[in-house]
Amino acid sequence: MDWNDLKVVIALAEKGTLKAASSQLNVNSTTVWRRIQQLESELSTQLFIVSRRGYQLTEAGRTVLDSAKRMESLADGILIQSSLQHDKVQGLIRVTAPSTMATTTLPEWVSEFRRSFPDVEFEILESEQALDIEHRDADIAIRASHTAPENLIARKMRDVNLSIYASEDFLKVSGYNAPFKLSEIERLTAIDYVHLDNPAVHWYQKRIKHNAKSIHCNSITTALNAALNDQGIALLPTDDSYDLVELYQLDAKYNSSLWILANKDLRNTARIKAFWDFLITKMESYKVQ
């Protein structure tokens, strides 16, 4: 027995005419009539009689209708449960963030999120690089960049200013005296970046091209810690909480922006949507470091 034939029985019993039933089922009247004839032949019984009021159920027809409605109710229940299971906030979320967030702030946020959604598992990827979100190297990325990729869902959270910093002890040993002049930067040992590609880093590297270098690194966290340990000047996000001396703030044209990025195909899955909304709330009060 074809379940689609039983749906025709329900529609014809409710509507009373071939035209109305066919309209509800989005088929033509001939198809409705043919399926009723096929089902009556299969069951060896008449299900409907035709009267001036339209198609009326026979006694056998009412029995079949009751069974069909029970099957319809069961099918609807299965669909609802499947939908609820699909919408449940559970499963793995791969999040990539700069080292400054991935090593400190992000684990705290994940812990808070999992108190509400304990069935979510996280993979935290510490990286300054643009992982391929479109091909699911990560599900959500927090990135500092000037623009967001067009192939991703993106939410700009804030602009990020950049400055050159150094520790007081380093400056004393270097014989530095305020006020700092940008023209004097070449005589100071510098902490350099590798594998970071943005206009601010390009500007900085051009300025320190002939400087002595103490450390080459690919993360802001490493550069910050190196500066705190008197290893030289460093280009860092502007933040007055560092125990460092701000020597020079870059022009606004070198500012970066902090973005939350997600794969378009995954944005509306329950777990991604829940964490996306949570991140936006947390990022609104986050102080870039």
How many CB atoms sit inside 10 A of residue 115's CB? Answer: 8
Identify the structural domains of the chain with CATH numbers, from first to last.
Answer: 3-87 (1.10.10.10), 91-159+256-283 (3.40.190.10), 162-253 (3.40.190.290)
Q: If you average pLDDT over residues 160-186, what whole number do you get?
A: 88
**What is the DSSP pairing of strand 140-145 with strand 256-263?**
antiparallel
Alpha helices in the chain (DSSP H): 3-15, 18-25, 29-43, 59-87, 99-100, 106-116, 168-173, 199-207, 220-228, 270-283
What confidence tier does 104 reach under pLDDT thresholds 50, 70, 90? confident
Q: If you average pLDDT over residues 177-200, what whole number do you get?
A: 86
Residue with tokens 């906030």: 89
What DSSP state is assigned to residue 101?
I
Q: If you average pLDDT over residues 67-96, what whole number do you get?
A: 71
Q: If you average pLDDT over residues 281-288, what whole number do you get?
A: 74
In angstroms, rounded to a whole number, what is the distance separating the alpha carbons of residues 137 and 95? 9
* Chain-centre distance for alpha carbon 260: 8
Per-residue model confidence (pLDDT) at position 80 = 44
* Residue 272 near residue 139, CB atoms below 8 Å: yes
Q: If you average pLDDT over residues 245-257, what whole number do you get?
A: 91
Q: Is the pLDDT of residue 47 over 60?
A: yes
What confidence tier does 267 reach under pLDDT thresholds 50, 70, 90? low
